[in-house]
Copies of this chain bind each other. A is one copy, B any other.
């Protein structure tokens, strides 16, 4: 089993992206959804922007749906009610705010070496659901269009929004498909038994672990028939949490899925899993060890260190796969492998 990093990693870094306003800086360019479109590899990169830091203060940048405006809110660290949590979040009067606001930005390439990044967002906050950002888009080519699912964070929680596009120019936001707190929704590229299928990931609590779930839908709007596909395994590299990655890939052996997991210390890696073509709520086989782990400098240190997280994989006709991933919650990188290697890993 071989997964090889591209020589030109990282592919996209914060320095490559023009901020949307002059008083913010690009904090991260991560977790791209991926699709083939018009002969190009197209990524929908999560671009996190944050107010330029000031000493002794924290700041949030929040979309105000009523005013259709993005506001910067600064708080002194010694102000009552302000509690710094980590470099990504803080509390203000018990409410959680993010230090950055994410949107989804398109990057394109014909050779995987040279990337052109759009000057403006493709999907940005435009509703109260998204007041704290649009994160981690997954793209599924489905029938005659593309379906994009992404995490909509805001004062109504961490919900999952579904949007559709045919051209990656106009996006039709179709509403919330998974209710707070949920993320990691990956829609399958085909109907199974007449219904659409997705993976999703309700949040961990002191009742339940962070598991990968399956749901079905007649129309992409209404979802149900929920079940749990995979739970964390105590004492292993996936003890802390598991979550779906990119949309599953149809192979003769089953649905091939490259998912993410974190161990008890929060170190993220990728695993591979094979699920039943006709019963995607059933696992056939799964890799016993990670197929990919943080090792490169840009994976080991950053906004969130020791992290590789993939939600975009592209397949080529020759059986090769390109795994795009966010590294250390800071940059976008990629690695190549093959379907055959991944199937072998599932069965090892």
Q: Show the binding face of A for B, using Cβ within 8 Å.
A: 91, 94-96, 132, 153-159, 175-182, 200, 202, 205-209, 211, 213, 216-219, 221-228
Specify the chain B residue showing the minimal Cβ separation from A96. B206
Nearest CB of B to A305, in Å = 24
Specify the chain B residue showing the minimal Cβ separation from A181. B205
Docked complex Cα distance between A304 and B176 (Å): 34
Cβ–Cβ contact B207 & A218, under 8 A = no
Nearest CB of B to A231, in Å = 9
Nearest CB of B to A194, in Å = 12
Q: How many copies does the complex hold?
A: 2
Cβ–Cβ contact A213 & B153, under 8 A = no
Contacts A218-B222, A221-B225 given: A207-B155 contact, CB under 8 Å?
yes
When distances are taken between beta carbons in the complex, the residues of chain B under 8 Å from A154 are 207
Specify the chain B residue showing the minimal Cβ separation from A85. B206
Beyond the given pairs A155-B207, A178-B179, 5 more chain A to chain B contacts, judged by CB atoms under 8 angstroms and listed by A's residue number, are A95-B207, A154-B207, A155-B209, A179-B202, A181-B207
Contacts A222-B225, A224-B221 given: A207-B176 contact, CB under 8 Å?
no
Docked complex Cα distance between A177 and B209 (Å): 19
Cβ–Cβ contact B95 & A176, under 8 A = no
When distances are taken between beta carbons in the complex, the residues of chain B under 8 Å from A179 are 178-179, 182, 200, 202, 213, 226
Contacts A179-B178, A218-B222, A224-B177 given: A211-B91 contact, CB under 8 Å?
no
Cβ–Cβ contact A207 & B157, under 8 A = yes
Specify the chain B residue showing the minimal Cβ separation from A94. B206
Docked complex Cα distance between A222 and B154 (Å): 25
Nearest CB of B to A198, in Å = 12
Nearest CB of B to A153, in Å = 7
Of the A-B pairs whose beta carbons lie under 8 Å apart in the complex, a sample of 17, sorted by A's number, is: A94-B206, A95-B207, A96-B206, A96-B207, A156-B208, A156-B211, A156-B228, A175-B225, A176-B224, A176-B226, A179-B179, A216-B222, A218-B219, A218-B222, A221-B224, A222-B223, A222-B224
Docked complex Cα distance between A223 and B205 (Å): 23
- Of A156, A216, A218, most buried by chain B (CB within 10 Å of CB) is A156
When distances are taken between beta carbons in the complex, the residues of chain B under 8 Å from A206 are 91, 94-96
- Of A95, A132, A180, most buried by chain B (CB within 10 Å of CB) is A180
Nearest CB of B to A236, in Å = 17
Contact check: which of B95, B175, B226 meets A226 at CB < 8 Å? B175
- Of A179, A182, A202, A205, most buried by chain B (CB within 10 Å of CB) is A179
Contacts A218-B222, A222-B217 given: A208-B228 contact, CB under 8 Å?
no
